[in-house]
Amino acid sequence: MKTNFNLSLKKTALSAASIILLFSASCTKESGPDNVKSASALSLSNRTAKPSAIGTAGPKGVCYIEVNNYDFRDVGKYKLTNGSQLFDVGIIFAANINYNTTTKKATLFFNTQVTNVLNNKATYIAPVQAKGIKVLLSILGNHQGAGIANFTSKADATAYAQLLSNAVTTYGLDGIDFDDEYADYGTNSTPQPNDSSFVYLVTALRQLMPTKIISFYYIGPASTKLSYNGVTVGSKVNYAWNPYYGTYSAPPVPGLAKSNLGPAAIDITSTSVATATSFATRTVADGYGIYLYYNLPDADSHTYLSGVSNALYGYSTVYSSN
């Protein structure tokens, strides 16, 4: 779960300069996590092969970057001593689901810091992708009553999926990550979560983005709404991971194999290196395919990360400020 400290910083930024974007609807650690080539390729049989880090056998490293506090490019500054990148996926944390009280529709909102990263994609996003790292945009609630779990119709869910797909195209991203926190369902007289909303949303987004990554930060009401009319969220998303930092627990998402799940979740700024290393050892021993990091700071953290990488891959981590 994202910390209250970082949330308070983010919400301060959100309430200051803000931009609401309403888009019109107009292995080897080298195959990358977006190895889904078509909607039909999302069958479980095609997504259960043992994953690997960029150029190195082992679980994929997924890292959330708090762009209100840190430089997104930090995710590309760490390599293993064999030359491979440490992180496979960097997630921009976070865009928001806001609510337009006039139209009664969910909107896509970028605060000042997220806007800066996206609008300057040549500076912040492309250099990271050039290293083989996939870049996702996290979608998070914003205390306005709108969220991924309370779309009341397939049409509304599809319209929001179109906004997300447009953003991925506009900013050259590799996919979308869903985080069902801080929606405050019921605020602004919005409806409560329902069984169909999240399934409709990921189904529509998968149709719009057949080759992109869709991931789920397993938290909130959406985590209990994973199947509707015979369709599972796990048949539409690529990955899901544990949201509680400093804990080890695989999210029970129907349709996803171990290779697509991350039970280990660490906050680099607060989880002890002993715990982080222990989780890495367990991830490998248990056969899971994802290791989740949060709060990568601007300061050199290679010593801390080496404990994890040695357990995951058998190599230490090195840092470059370039």
**Residues with a known catalytic role:** 181
Angle at the Cα of 313 (from 255 to 94), degrees rounded to 5?
Answer: 55
List of residues 6+ apart from 102 with CB closer than 8 A: none
**DSSP letter for each residue of 241-281:** E--STTEE-----TT--GGGEE-EEEETTTS-HHHHHHHHH
Cis peptide before 264 (omega within 30 of 0): no
Q: Are 289 and 34 in contact (CB under 8 A)?
A: no
Would strands 175-179 and 213-217 be described as parallel, antiparallel, or unpaired? parallel
The total of other beta-carbon atoms located within 10 Å of residue 187's CB is 15
Would strands 175-179 and 134-141 be described as parallel, antiparallel, or unpaired? parallel
The distance in angstroms from the start CA to the end CA of the chain is 30
211 to 27, 140, 175: CA distances (angstroms): 17, 22, 9
Q: Are 194 and 180 in contact (CB under 8 A)?
A: no
List of residues 6+ apart from 275 with CB closer than 8 A: 246, 266
Per the DSSP assignment, residues forming a β-bridge with 97 are 108, 141
Rounded Cα distance, 151 and 173, in Å: 24
Would strands 213-217 and 52-53 be described as parallel, antiparallel, or unpaired? unpaired
Q: Which of 113, 141, 137, 140 is nearest to 17 (CA)?
A: 113
